Amino acid sequence: MSSGERERPDPARSEAIAKTAQVFGELKEAVILADTDRRITWVNQAFTELMGYTLDDLRGRKTEILYDRTRDNAQIGRTRHYTSRAPVKPDYMVNYRHKAGRLIRSETIGWAVRDKAGEVIGFAALIRDMDELLDLHDVMSRLYDVSSSQDMSGQEKIHAIMRIGCEYFRLPTAMVTQVQGGQCTVLHAQSTIVDLSAGMQFALSDMFCGLALSEDGPLTIADAHRGGFPALGCIAGLNQRCYIGIPLTVDKERFGTLSFSSPIARSAFSAEEVDLIKLFAAWVAQEIAITRACEELSRAASTDWLTRAASRRQFQPDLEAALVEYCTSGRQASLLMIDIDHFKQINDRFGHAAGDMALRELAERLRRLLPFGGRLYRIGGEEFACLLPDHAVGEARELALQMREAVARMRLHQPGGDLRFTVSLGIAALHRGLTVPDAWLSEADAALYAAKTAGRNRVACAGTDQVRDMFGPGRTSASRRLKLVGTRGA
């Protein structure tokens, strides 16, 4: 028969195809029939829904049109589509292409269609979409890699989990929020279609996360326009027509929400998707808890427990940073050293509890006077330091005088009488001669020593004749004196 001739209808073949179509017509899984030349003769509705092709699109065409790779079609033809009676494993994994071009990963079960005499008259295949199962396997593998990574920070892990969720749910927007009172604050966000960033705030009543918080589990909204949900402001403002969100519980308390959304409606979320967002939420909540714990430890390490001033541990890196900025950009800064006069006498007369009160009250009074950007440190027993960015020596001296006067006016009521005390202050401003933090600290410490020697309750500035005379060769070094400040009572 020439290539231009049509093949004559075979009644037996037609009957077999009709019976097969009757059996598989209502099946919810995709089924396709082809003749011995692998020309498509029939597909069911489920096939059309999965692949995008109708029977009219495919009738008489070779099955190779369906495959992602031509060599897969050829390989399957050589090993599976033959007319002998030799047994063959019926199921195999193969990738197809949707009519619109989307990749479809599938498990295919194939078998021969035979007539009453047992002769092969065609082939049938049942195609199962494995995308969801394979996607889930891929997600679990990626989540494990993220959660076990030693190179990623907590924030990087959260953002990685959000990216995985956006890809799996096929939703373009993801958010992690914290809820306090009636406000919802965005902590982490990523979106390809909406302008979202950390720190943005919304009224809880205008957010789907408010509804999610009232749920015991995930809140799923396939189409907010048809689901009977209120017309919340977030639908328009954040383009949330489709939404899946879940409360986050951190340290046994409701913290906020994790959500994924899209401006386009979709089919109902599957049970697997609901289970997966629970897993996402557990990992995100864990990273938030770990980050909070680390931040608390860092704050504790960098903050003096008694006065709440920054600690000596934080003082050194801040001093180095200010010096580097001065050397690179010329940004001025001054350093104040502050020491309580006769502190040992306070402890001896009023007791150590009163001494602790004096330290706390002094720190609070100094903090009130600090300018924007200034920071207070407790670097020894009764010795404090202030780092003053953008302050030349004259401005620093005016502030030091205010501090001295404010402390001199303080009255702390005690059973043995009012507790009053004074402070001495030393100032050193940055200049080109300073190349290391210890040199800057030495100048400020020398100025403090000069103020003490001159009678206490005074302010002295580095660079004056008085300071050079007081802190000449043979004097104790700044690093040595810092080691002794905790025991010094003068």
Q: Strands of 201-203's sheet, edge to edge?
A: 201-203, 183-191, 173-180, 253-262, 242-250, 219-221
* DSSP 8-state symbol, 411: -
Instruction: Report the SS3 class of residue 125.
Output: strand
Which pLDDT tens digit goes with each residue over 95-153? 999 999 988 888 888 888 887 777 888 888 888 887 767 677 788 888 888 888 889 99
Model confidence at 486, pLDDT cuts 50, 70, 90, reads very low
> Cβ–Cβ contacts within 10 Å for residue 185, how many?
15
- One-letter amino acid at 284 equals V
pTM for this predicted structure: 0.53
Q: Tokens at residue 401, please?
A: 């005088």
Cβ atoms of residues 385 and 338 within 8 Å: yes
244-254 pLDDT, tens digit per residue, is 999 999 988 88
The stretch 359-375 carries a mean pLDDT of 94
Active site residues: 382
Judged by DSSP in three states, 487 sits in coil
11-129 and 134-300 have identical folds:
yes
Range from 22-31, 271-280, 421-430 carrying the lowest mean pLDDT: 22-31
Between 142 and 90, the more confident residue is 142
CATH topology of domain 11-129: Beta-Lactamase (3.30.450)
Question: CB count, 10 Å around CB of 297?
Answer: 10
What CA–CA distance (Å, rounded) separates 479 from 456? 22
Amino acid letter, residue 90: P
Annotate 189-201 with b (16+ C-beta within 10 A) or e (fewer): bbbeebeeeeeee
Provide the 3-class DSSP secondary structure of residue 165: helix
In the predicted model, what is the mean pLDDT of residues 218-236? 74
Q: Give the model confidence (pLDDT) of 171-190 as tens digits.
A: 999 999 999 888 889 999 99
Topology of the domain comprising 310-484? Alpha-Beta Plaits (3.30.70)
What is the pLDDT, as a whole number, of residue 40?
93
Q: Mind listing the pLDDT tens digit for each residue in 342-364?
A: 999 999 999 999 999 999 999 99
Query: Which H or E run includes 70?
Result: helix 70-79
- Across the chain, what does the average pLDDT equal? 83
Give the confidence band of 193 by pLDDT, cuts at 50, 70, 90: confident
User: Quick check: 16 and 41 in contact, CB under 8 A?
Assistant: no
Mean pLDDT of the 424-448 span: 93
Quote the CA–CA distance of 319 and 291 in Å, as a whole number. 26
Task: Report the distance separating Cα 267 and Cα 242, nearest Å.
Answer: 9
d(CA 44, CA 429) in angstroms, rounded, equals 84
Q: How far is residue 444's CA from residue 428's CA, in Å, rounded to a whole number? A: 5
Alpha-carbon radius of gyration of the chain: 38
Average pLDDT over residues 190-199: 87
pLDDT-based confidence at residue 47 (cuts at 50, 70, 90): very high
Whether domain 134-300 has CATH 3.30.450.40: the reply is yes
Q: Return all residues near 91 (Cβ < 8 A) that are at least 6 apart.
A: 107, 108, 109, 110
For the chain, domain boundaries = 11-129, 134-300, 310-484
